[in-house]
A = this chain, B = another copy of it.
């Protein structure tokens, strides 16, 4: 069993991306499954090709993409990706799509094919808050989630895929306004580990 975990490059003026930092902290084996870690660009076009290259190279059974959702207080597991790109700021390659479909002939949405409720229960069961989210936004995170589910639907039918959002790390939240929620990177990584465990077992 192989799990491809992707994490984004920093964006939006941040020096680090807690998604990639947490993915890097994961062990190489979780519940017997091999964990492959891949950093991908925070860019609409390049992110998708980077994940597909990873799929072709590593032949994973599961693809879990991880992204930063500054302002959320815990790890959230996305239920659905929508066929829409609407960027409030340019991506790291300078692209800024406005109100465009991600896939001209694609369906309005894909549901995650990893078990989101089971993941949430497993993380919570280990004493760390975790919730389902019903929106991955309309930026690069939703784009990657939609495209990987689309690829799985049309080209790689054996792959299960999904997306997990993580809060700011503690270090990132220093200097931000009082009330900004965060999690230590180690606790984010632990949440991801329990998430993978729920997918595998």
- Where the two chains meet, the residues of A that have a C-beta atom closer than 8 Å to any C-beta of B are 72-74, 76, 79-80, 82, 84, 99, 107-111, 117, 124, 127-129, 131, 133-135, 137-138, 170-171, 173-176, 178-184, 187
Contact = CB atoms under 8 A, between A and B. Distances in A.
A80 B82 contact: yes
Chain multiplicity (copies): 4
B129 A182 contact: yes
Q: Looking at A111, A117, A128, A178, which has the most chain B CB atoms within 10 Å of its CB?
A: A178
A127 B179 contact: no
24 contacts: A73-B179, A73-B180, A73-B181, A73-B182, A74-B182, A79-B82, A79-B84, A80-B84, A80-B108, A80-B109, A107-B107, A107-B109, A108-B108, A108-B109, A108-B111, A128-B184, A129-B170, A129-B180, A134-B137, A135-B135, A170-B187, A184-B184, A184-B187, A187-B187
Task: Please list the 7 inter-chain residue pairs (A to B) with the smallest Cβ-Cβ separation, ordered nearest first.
Answer: A109-B109, A134-B135, A108-B109, A135-B135, A131-B178, A127-B171, A129-B173
B129 A176 contact: yes
A180 B135 CA distance: 18
A138 B82 CA distance: 15
Contacts of A76: 178
Contacts of A107: 107-109
A182 B79 CA distance: 23
Contacts of A108: 80, 107-111
A18 to B, nearest CB: 12
Nearest to A111: B108
